[in-house]
Structure 1
Amino acid sequence: MTTKTLFITGASSGIGAETARAAADAGWNVALFARSQDKLDALVAELGEARALALPGDVTQMADLEHAVRETQARFGQINAVFANAGRGLDTPGVAEGDPEEWRSMMDINVMGLLFTVKASYGALQESKGHLVLTGSAAGKRHIKGSIYGASKWFVHGFGGNMAEEMREWGGRCTVIAPGMVDTPFFDSPKPDKLQPEDVAHAVMHALSAPARASVQEIFLMPTQ
């Protein structure tokens, strides 16, 4: 059987990198998309060039994503799953003292980058009857006073549900992974008592490995402390 291929955005560190490791361990090829060429190259060296492909690019640029999808198909033949994981937060979270330019930058990644990723890979997923996985958040499941970041993740959850309805018409599946606080470079200081990136990676792989009869539409993952 042809080895399956997973395309990951935000793949150079944190959740994206750990998911690449988990997928490679499970026998998948991994196509790694992120802005940091050096980090991607290091991850490819770790996972092996036969199984991993570095695809430097900006998730807010449709042309970069379209090129990356073509390169992935040329290298591995098909794309069986896409993990739209790239995202960012805000230095100043609320409205009153927030920076509108920072809001725009975050929305470009968290919303438009997500849409561009899905648009660029949609045809490939249709061909393989593939699986779309989106990084949501616990912040997208509850109201947090003044949280603009949380609102961007509400979009992810709503869009993920809409995509699940559309994709099942042609045999595809869509899953939103909604973690609480994860110990990643997303935060300025370490959070060792919270979720680790590998916890989220395991959730992604659980969704991808579900039997064809089962559509895991959301995994809500919280730290125990």
Structure 2
Amino acid sequence: MSRTLFITGASSGIGAATARAAVEAGWKVGLFARSEDKLSALVDELGSDNAVAIPGDASDYNAQAKAVANLAEVWGGIDAAFANAGTGLSAAGTEAGDPEEWERMIRLNVMGVLWTAKAAMPHLRERKGHLVLTGSAAGRTHIKGSVYSASKWFVHGYGGNLAEEMREWGGRCTVVAPGMVDTPFFEEAKPDKLQPEDIARSVVFALEADPRSNVQEIFVMPTR
């Protein structure tokens, strides 16, 4: 029986790299993001027998629930979900911050993670499955006035709470916390920092761990 992974924010960066790494490891993947064109191109690359594109907005619970249900129908169930979609802010700090931008970010970085967990949990329970969350090194340190950092503190806290909840029925939860990664998240390239493939390998490492063990947190930091 094939293993199936649902990925949010799958159209580029860490999400797309994780889809490639998961397929290489023998997983089927459901690709969820707003960019239908990029998802279709990734399916062409990975093969329609390995990947399915499910366009949608991760900040919308109904969209995620429908996507998860569709994916489970395509391949008979879901073994893991990767709540990876996230965004940052253009204005740093509290006084200089934009409340509307905060709301958009929280809707994705916080509520989007909740929606993935809520939508996937019944399917994961059926297979004693695995939930992976994209945290951040910023979610484990205090950064002057950073609302983004605070949103990632939530991910780390919630990930630990999920691990305890899922443990009751044999499920697992992992938070993968990267330092700076060279992705479209940043306006300028960061070629000397981590690459999306570094984080993708960490996700697959957690997924492939023996079922007796839960790799609960992984920190991946650039050497430069």
TM-score normalised to the size of structure 2? 0.99
Structure 1 unaligned spans of 5+ = none
How far off its partner does 1:213 sit?
1.1
How far off its partner does 1:179 sit?
0.3
Length, aligned pairs only:
224
Identity of aligned residues (%): 65
- Letter of the structure 2 residue corresponding to residue 38 of structure 1: D
Match of 2:108 in 1: 109
Match of 1:210 in 2: 209
- Letter of the structure 2 residue corresponding to residue 151 of structure 1: A
Matches within 5 A, 1:62-101: 62-101=61-100
CA RMSD after TM alignment: 0.5
How far off its partner does 1:75 sit?
0.5
Structure 2 unaligned spans of 5+ = none
- Could you report, residue by residue, the CA deviation over 1:9-58 in whole angstroms, capped at 9, with x for unpaired residues? 00000000000000001110000000000000000000000110000001
Measure the CA separation in 2 of the matches of 1:171 and 1:183: 35
Matches within 5 A, 1:38-187: 38-187=37-186
How far off its partner does 1:62 sit?
1.1
How far off its partner does 1:162 sit?
0.2
Match of 1:9 in 2: 8
Measure the CA separation in 1 of the matches of 2:16 and 2:66: 21
Moved over 6 A (4+): none
How far off its partner does 1:136 sit?
0.1
Measure the CA separation in 2 of the matches of 1:151 and 1:93: 12
Measure the CA separation in 2 of the matches of 1:37 and 1:119: 24
How far off its partner does 1:70 sit?
1.2
TM-score normalised to the size of structure 1? 0.99
Measure the CA separation in 2 of the matches of 1:174 and 1:156: 12
Match of 2:191 in 1: 192
